[in-house]
Amino acid sequence: MAIEESLERKEALVESVKYKVSIENVDGWYGTKRAIKDINLKVREKTVTAFIGPSGCGKTTLIRCLNRMHEMTPGARVDGRIIVDGINIYDKSIDAVIIRRRIGMVFQKPNPFPTMSIFENVAAGLRLNGINNKTIIREIVEESLKNAALWDEVKNELHIPGMSLSGGQQQRLCIARALAMQPEVLLMDEPTSSLDPIGASKIEELVRTLKDSVTIIIVTHNMQQAARVSDFTAFMYLGDMIEYGATNQIFMKPEKELTERYVSGKFV
Amino acid sequence: MVRNKRHDKLFTGLVFGTAAYTLLMVGLVAFSVTKGSLDIFTEEGIQFITGSDWNAVEGRESFGAYPYIIGTLLSSAIALAIGVPISLAIAVFISEIAPPRIGTPLSFITELLAAVPSIIYGLWALFVFRFWVRDLIEKPLYDAFHGYLPFFAKTPFGLDIFTAGIVLAIMIIPIISSICREVMRVVPDSQREAAYSLGATRWETVRMAVFPYVKSGLVGASMLGLGRAIGETILVTMIIGNVVGPSAIPTSFFSQGQTLSSLVANEFNEASSELHLSALIALGAILFILTMGINIVARLLVKKKMKVSSGAKAQ
Ligand SMILES: Nc1ncnc2c1ncn2[C@@H]1O[C@H](COP(=O)(O)OP(=O)(O)OP(=O)(O)O)[C@@H](O)[C@H]1O
Ligand SMILES: [Mg+2]
């Protein structure tokens, strides 16, 4: 009896370690509008998880709940629990600012700081963290730009404004800026939707390499992209999580008819 | 088609006409001011700018604008030094911190205040506010510092350059803060979110994403406020003390003084001679040049900053 109990507890522990992010009964509200409803989903460490679904289904809302960005919208509110590394990020004792330092985010449109150089853009988060040691900053900036596959293109012009790069380069700069914080989870909301195909494919490639070190959650409109980059896919519709599973399964033999219709493009 | 073209031409003509009107006005003002002040500049030369006598008695006429240039610059500098930080704080509060339910009425009120005529501020300052300034600000400063800091020497009286500066600040705060708030609205939310996503607090977001993005707009707003303060006449006339001649050169913040525009307002009615009138017009000319000069310097400052980044962009 006692042995069984302890085994059970051990299993529960192993279970909780396996998952980097657990979303439990999450509702996202804009005023009185319930934009996402009772979402449950567990994300494994060092995998890529894609959120797909038609426009307005709540992908952005959900991903913004994961780093407590949702609540910055006036009137917005979150119910439920989101556990990252065993800690409920919505616990009353947790400061949202600290959570955002640990969970990186990349946005739909590249948004480098226009008055800052490439170098300063990447260093911005470090400076916020009070890191002032020049050598350390230099090292982290270089490493982050390398990890974002941008170093070779900009290493000789780190002092020029981030805005003078191409759209795709700017997006990789934003990824480098997020990586400089050494996040364990990286959230990406349609990171390629404003880029040309070449810029987009570079980002996709990057996502595949990054997952060796980071847990990535990516929102995408592009089903081919989800199929190419993700290990797991969640399909959302009208604020509900319809189906969640391995990407292969979702695209090859989905369980729900709605999913089937969406992934095969018979959806308006 | 033809009709559209004709409309287009008409519209273009109208737009050109109005643009020409502004040029014409600037030209006319410049012309009359120059013409009017010619007399005094031939009489006094550079002395008119560096001198400090002001004597309108026939036969012994002597005019120098130096004390009023200093009075104008000093009172406006005090107004800016007090007004700009407060205006920025108000704008930041309304646009970045307060929820809309508080921010919207507040910004409405600031806009309302911006439309209050300056004579109202002047009356209030003359009958009420100057006593507060004297008792609550000037006296403590005087008691604390008059021994070692010359700016706070001189027993405060309440009708002086310092009071004028503070009331000017009160007058320009609504203007500067309304414009700053308007300017900050231009900052796209994506910029704020970039800062938030790096774990910036609200204040860090303002410093990192909002201010740098609209720096030139904020400078512009302050310059507009400065322009108002420099040219403000009636309010200053009511509270600055209106001294004339060498004693109008301020020796401390609490000196009574005079500005270019307040002197014109005080004397143009009883200008006794051609030369006196010309001197007053020349004060106007100096004011005109001062305002333009400050605007140009401010523009250059902003442009220089912009050039650094766009120059690098071209590489
Ligand atoms: N700021 C807001 N205020 C009120 N309602 C909002 C707000 N943002 C989104 N919504 C609503 O919440 C729902 C989900 O929106 P969300 O942006 O999460 O969708 P999405 O799946 O990301 O869509 P898209 O693919 O177009 O980006 C939509 O019905 C939308 O109208
Ligand atoms: Mg979206």
- Determine whether the interchain pair B215/A115 forms a contact, defined as Cβ–Cβ distance below 8 Å: yes
List, as ranges, residues with CB under 5 A of the ion ligand 2: A 60
**Interchain pair B191, A109: CB under 8 A:** no
What's residue B311's pLDDT?
36
Contacts of B100 in chain A (CB under 8 A): 74
Of residues B146 and A179, the one with the higher pLDDT is A179
| pLDDT more than 70, % of chain B | 95
Of A40, A49, A7, nearest to A247 (Cα)?
A49
Query: Under an 8 A CB cutoff, do B194 and A112 touch?
Result: yes
Predicted local confidence at residue B265, as pLDDT: 92
Q: Indicate whether B209 pLDDT > 90.
A: yes
**Confidence (pLDDT) at B63:** 92
Longest dimension (CA), chain B: 80
What is the average pLDDT across A53-61?
94
Instruction: Give the residue ranges of DSSP H helices in B206-255.
Output: 215-231, 234-239
Binary contact (B196, A114; C-beta < 8 A): no
Judged by a CB distance cut-off of 8 A, whether residue A30 touches chain B is no
Residues of B in Cβ contact (< 8 Å) with A118: none
Whose Cα sits closest to atom 6 in ligand 1? A30
Question: How many other β-carbons are positioned within 10 Å of the β-carbon of residue A41?
Answer: 20
Confidence of residue A11 (pLDDT cuts 50, 70, 90): low
Interface test with A, best of B102, B197, B201, B207 (most A CBs within 10 A): B197
Which class would CATH give B37-314?
mainly alpha
Ligand nearest the Cα of residue A29 is 1
Q: Quick: pLDDT tens for B237-251.
A: 999 988 999 999 998
A114 touches chain B (CB under 8 A): yes
Q: Which helix (H) or strand (E) holds B126?
A: none
pLDDT for position B315: 31
Residue identifier of the C-alpha nearest atom 31 of ligand 1: A56
**Separation of alpha carbons B85 and B78, rounded Å:** 12
- Selecting from B99, B201, B212 the residue whose C-beta is nearest the C-beta of A74 gives B99
Distance from CA of B305 to the nearest CA of A (A): 10
Mean pLDDT (chain B, rounded): 89
Q: Where are the domains of chain A?
A: 19-112+173-263
Residue B2 has what pLDDT?
59
pLDDT of residue A12: 62
Residue to substitute from A64, A73, A89, A97, interface B, most B β-carbons within 10 A: A97
CB contact under 8 A, A97 and B315: no
Identify from B198, B203, B208, B307 which residue to disrupt to test chain A contact, counting A C-beta atoms within 10 A and taking the largest count: B198
> Which residues in chain A belong to E strands, given as ranges?
19-30, 33-44, 48-52, 76-84, 87-88, 103-106, 185-189, 215-219, 232-237, 240-246
CB B157 within 8 A of CB B172: no
Q: How confident is the model at residue A7 (pLDDT cuts 50, 70, 90)?
A: low
CA atoms within 13 A on the CB side of B238: 18
Interface of A with B in 158-197 (CB under 8 A): 159-161, 163-164, 174, 177-178, 181
**Of A59, A221, A222, best ligand 1 pocket probe by most atoms within 8 Å of the beta carbon:** A59
**Chain A positions in Cβ-Cβ contact with residue B198 (cut-off 8 Å):** 100-101, 124-125, 128, 177-178, 181
Whether the Cβ atoms of residue B161 and residue B256 lie closer than 8 Å to each other = yes
Which residue of chain A comes nearest to B209, CA vs CA? A113
Checking if the pLDDT of A2 tops 90, the result is: no
What confidence score (pLDDT) does residue A23 get? 95
pLDDT at B312: 37
CATH of the structural domain A19-112+173-263, one choice from 2.40.70.10, 3.40.50.2000, 3.40.50.620, 3.40.50.300? 3.40.50.300
Residue-wise pLDDT for B181-198, tens only, equals: 999 999 999 999 999 999
Tokens of B258: 């005079």
Is residue B307 predicted with pLDDT exceeding 60? no
* Pocket, ligand 1, Cβ cutoff 6 A: A 30, 33, 35, 53, 55-61, 73, 221
User: Quick check: A267 pLDDT over 80?
Assistant: no
Contact B194 A125 (CB under 8 A): no
Specify the pLDDT at position A264: 87
Domain boundaries, chain B: 37-314
Q: pLDDT tens-digit profile of B251-299?
A: 889 999 999 999 999 998 888 788 999 999 999 999 999 988 888 887 7
Q: Are B190 and A125 an interchain contact pair (Cβ–Cβ within 8 Å)?
A: no
Tens of pLDDT along A91-123? 999 999 999 999 999 999 999 999 999 999 999
Q: Which residues of B touch A186 (CB under 8 A)?
A: none
A100 vs B315: CB contact, 8 Å cut-off? no
Predicted pLDDT of residue B146: 83
Tell me what ipTM this predicted complex has.
0.89
Contact A181 B199 (CB under 8 A): yes
What is the four-CA torsion angle of B264, B269, B273, B275, rounded to 10 degrees?
20
- List the single residue in B99, B190, B208 with the smallest CB-CB distance to A107: B190
Rounded to the nearest angstrom, the distance between the alpha carbon of B96 and the centre of ligand 1 is: 22
Q: How far is the CA of B186 from the centre of ligand 2 (A)?
A: 22
Instruction: Please answer whether residues A78 and A29 qualify as being in contact, where contact means their C-beta atoms are separated by less than 8 angstroms.
Output: yes
pLDDT over 90 at A71, yes or no: yes
Q: Are B105 and B191 in contact (CB under 8 A)?
A: no
If pLDDT is split at 50, 70 and 90, which confidence band does A195 have? Answer: confident
Spatial separation of the C-alpha atoms in residues A76 and A82, rounded to whole Å:
16
Percentage of chain A lying above the pLDDT 70 cut: 93
Range name among A211-225, B3-17, B85-99, B108-122 with the lowest pLDDT average: B3-17
Across A21-25, A191-195, B6-10, B270-274, which has the greatest mean pLDDT?
Answer: A21-25
**pLDDT reported for residue B314:** 33
